[in-house]
Amino acid sequence: MEEEIQESIIEIDESEPKESGPGVLRWLFQAVREVAETIIPAVAIALLINVFLAQATQVLGQSMEPNLHTHQRVVIEKVTYRFLHGPRRGDIVVIRPSDQEGEDLLIKRVIGLPGETIEVRNGEVYIEGERLDEPWTVRPGKSHYSPRTVPPLHVFVMGDNRGASNDSRNFGPVPIDQVMGRAWLSYWPPEHVGFVE
């Protein structure tokens, strides 16, 4: 009985057609197609998210300490400023300083809005002559900035570490179209995971 089973197995194996060249090509084409059908949509979705919805970036420098630290990683949320409203005072924003793609991004806090007159005395900010109440933590420094009005479609930005920040006091108000989005979520390092304020 065992011999008959073995013989029939051998017969079945011998009766199967051997894989030929066109069969291998067909299998390879199908494998490539399945991989492409998975990878191409995934890459397209990732690009759409990166361009229109959110983007990850890294904080470089000490200008936002003690609230954000160098090498901290944050997610920039892009939807709000595109569809709901412009930057608001207190928002931490990421700025592309010019139209040149290769330049480093800046991360700063919005302090002055279009049409407002801003002044800095002994590190304290005044808007329309009134001292600005800043509920976030600031290292004020001793800087001065004479009164100037923020032009339309611009914002005045400053670092929270005022004595060590290159910001609108140096390069002037920032056009709103250079604001990429709002720093929304810190995700690295683990001890700083949470919403950015």
Question: Which residues carry out catalysis?
Answer: 63, 108
DSSP character string of 41-71: HHHHHHHHIIIIIEEEEE--SSTTTTTS-TT
Q: What is the DSSP letter of 13?
A: H
**Cα pseudo-dihedral 23, 28, 30, 36, rounded to 10:** -170
Q: Distance between CA atoms of 143 and 164, rounded to whole angstroms?
A: 10
Distances (CA, A) of 83 to 21, 45, 80, 86, 96: 56, 20, 6, 9, 19
